[in-house]
Structure 1
C-alpha cells in the first residue's frame, strides 16, 4: 500500500462559523482571519494505492458550480484535483473507488462534472465506484433545512443514475471493518448523519483522515466544534472518545481542511488533549 496526499484546491470560510461559540480572540491565534473574518481552508484528499485498487478519499469542491457560487468561497492558490493527480503520475480515469466521508459539497463536489455539451452531469471518475452509506445517503437526498445548502442534488443524483453508487454495510457498530476498502471506518453523527472517518494502517502507524470531525489543528480542544455541526453536544461526546483513542493508540491525524498543516499527533496535558507534534506527510512517511 502507498498513500499520497492530494491537494484539490483552497478556499475560505467564515472563522466564526468554523469555530461556533469559541470567541474570535481565541480561535484567531491558530487560524488568523482576514479583514472579512475569513480563514484559510484546504480541500485535501488522500489517494490510496493498494494492489489493483486506487481509492480516492473525498474529491473537493469540483469546478461545475456557477461563478456566483464560487464567489462565496474565495478560492485561492494553484491547486487542482487533476493537477495534483498528474504530479503523482495518475489520471482520474485510473481511480477505481471514490470514498466520500460525507456528501457536503466541499467533500464530494469533484465527484460529478458537466457532460461534454454541458446539458447535464456525469461522474468525473468514469471507472470508479462511489462509496457512501444508506443512512447518510437518505439524509443527504432528503435534506433538512439546516443542511440543504450543503447537499447539492447535482452532486448526488448523477452517482445513482450512473449505476456507480455503492453503500458501505454499516451494521449497528460505530466501527466498520470494510471488506471492499483498505481501511476501517468510524461512523459519527454530530456533524452530519453517519459521517465516515477512515482509519488506515500504514507503515506501522494508524493514520486517521479527519474530515469534519476535526477540521484543523485549531479545533483540537474538546469544545471547539464548528457552527456547521447539526448536533454540537453529540460532536463533543464523539470527539472526547476519539481524542482518548488518538492519544492512547498514537494516531497520526491527517487534516482535510487545514490549509497550513497536513498532519499531527496529540498528547494529554493538564488542560486536556492538545497538539503534540506537527509534520508534513513526507516527514513521517517515507
Structure 2
C-alpha cells in the first residue's frame, strides 16, 4: 500500500497474462532482454495486470480493470490468461464491493486494460461497477472505434460500448482534474489518448505510467514495445515524465511488471534507472 496525505493507494491484481517476448521488447535484441525476463516454451513473457484502487475523500477510484471474463477460449490460450486474479474477486477479497467503486479511469481501451469494466450476465453486457462513472479520452474512444489494421485486435467493442449505452461513460478532451489533487495527463505515443493518473502530494506524488512504461525493464527510454504506435513520440513522452519523476520524487506505478509494482527513479549515466523499489509483489 502507498499512503499519502489524502489517499491510500492499494495495488491490486486484476489478472495475469502473457505476451510474445519480441512484442514486449520491440527492437531490443533477445540476447539483451532475455537476461531480464524468463519466457515459456512459446517465447511468452508473463505480464501482471496491476489495478490501483485509490481510497480517500469519500471516493473509491479504480484505474483500469484488467482482461475481464469475456475473452473467447482461443484468445485465453493465446494470451495464457490466469483468472485467479479477477478484479471483482480481488476487490471482494480486499473488502470492497463492486457497487462501492465511485470512479473508473480507463487509461485506454486495449482489452487488457478495459475488459473488466463490463461483464456478461444472461447474455447481456452491463457495467461491472454499477455506481461508477467511467472516464476515457475522446481521441482514444474515436481511435478504438476506427482502429488501424495494426492494432485493431487490441480493441473489442463489447468491453466499452455498453458503458456508453448505459450512460456511465464520460468522454474527455485532454488533461483534466478528477479531484483537486488527482489530475489525469495524456500522451499519444503508445496509442492516441493514453491517460496517466497523477496524485499530487507535497512529499510523495504518485504517477501511474500505464503503457508508457509497462514494466520496470522499460525504464530505459529506447526500451519500448512493438505495440507502441508512434515510437518516436513515445520516447519523447517517456523522457519527459521520467525527468519529472526523477526531479520531483515521484513514485511510478507499472501496469504489467509481475515482480516490481512501484519505484522511484534517478538519472543515470546513460538512462534513467531505479533508485528505490517502493513496492514488490507479496510473494517476492
Q: Is the 8 A contact 1:200 1:208 kept in 2?
A: yes
Find the counterpart in structure 1 of residue 85 from structure 2: 79
Q: Is the 8 A contact 2:254 2:261 kept in 1?
A: yes
Q: Is the 8 A contact 2:251 2:278 kept in 1?
A: no
Q: Is the 8 A contact 2:137 2:172 kept in 1?
A: yes
Asked if 1:146 is matched to 2:150, the reply is yes
Extract unaligned runs of 5+ from structure 1. 171-175
Structure 2 CA distance, aligned partners of 1:181 and 1:8?
A: 27
Structure 1 CA distance, aligned partners of 2:88 and 2:119?
A: 13
Matches within 5 A, 1:115-264: 115=121, 117-118=122-123, 120-170=124-174, 176-180=175-179, 182-202=181-201, 204-264=203-263
Cα deviation, 1:162-211, whole Å, max 9, x if unaligned, reads: 011112342xxxxx341457511221000000101111135831111111
Aligned residues: CA RMSD = 1.8
Find the counterpart in structure 1 of residue 21 from structure 2: 15
Structure 2 CA distance, aligned partners of 1:181 and 1:33?
A: 43
| TM-score (normalised: structure 1) | 0.91
Q: Is the 8 A contact 1:7 1:45 kept in 2?
A: yes
Structure 2 CA distance, aligned partners of 1:56 and 1:193?
A: 21
Offset of residue 240 of structure 1: 1.3
Work out which of the residue numbers 62, 67, 91 in structure 2 matches 1:56.
Answer: 62
Extract unaligned runs of 5+ from structure 2. 1-6
SS at match of 1:263: strand
Asked if 1:104 is matched to 2:103, the reply is no
Structure 2 CA distance, aligned partners of 1:44 and 1:250?
A: 21
Taking a change above 3 Å as real, the CA distance of residues 244 and 8 of structure 1, as seen in their structure-2 partners, is same
Structure 2 CA distance, aligned partners of 1:11 and 1:136?
A: 23
| TM-score (normalised: structure 2) | 0.92
Offset of residue 5 of structure 1: 1.1
Cα deviation, 1:246-275, whole Å, max 9, x if unaligned, reads: 111121111110011111111112122112
Offset of residue 112 of structure 1: 0.6
